[in-house]
Amino acid sequence: MIDLTVEDPIPLAAAAKLLPPGRNGRRCHMSTLLRWVLNGAKGPDGAVVRLEACRVGSRWLTSKQALQRFATRLTPQVDAEPAPAPRTASRRQRAAERAAAELDKLGI
C-alpha cells in the first residue's frame, strides 16, 4: 500500500494520463489501472504484480512512485541469466525412461 505521508497521492484517472499512449495511440483508461490494483498483471516470473493503491472515501489513489515500482516489477531483467535451453525430444524421452526405471525399482 502507498504511504500517504511520504508519497504524493493522485487519483487513478490522473495516473492514467501519466502513462504514454498504447495501441493505436489510445490513452490508458482509468479502469485499466483499477484492474491492475484489484487483479494485478502477470510479471516476467509468472507472479501476479499489483499496482499499489489505497481507497480514501469513494476514490482510489495511487502515486507516481507506486507506478514506477509497478513498472519495475513488470519489466524483465535483460541482463539476467538467460533461460536454459529446452530439452530435446530424445533427452526428455531418456529422462522419462530413467524416472520410470527408478519408480519400478522402488515398487511404485
Strand partners, 102: none
The whole-model pTM stands at: 0.70
Question: pLDDT (tens digit, 0 to 9) for every residue of the chain, 108 residues total?
Answer: 888 899 999 999 999 999 999 889 999 999 999 999 999 999 998 999 999 999 999 999 999 999 999 999 999 887 767 767 888 999 999 999 999 999 999 988
In this prediction, residue 49 carries a pLDDT of: 97
In this prediction, residue 86 carries a pLDDT of: 84
Q: How many residues does the chain have?
A: 108
| Strands of the sheet with 59-63, listed across from one edge | 9-11, 59-63, 54-56
**Cα dihedral 42, 66, 37, 39 in deg (nearest 10):** 10
In this prediction, residue 81 carries a pLDDT of: 72
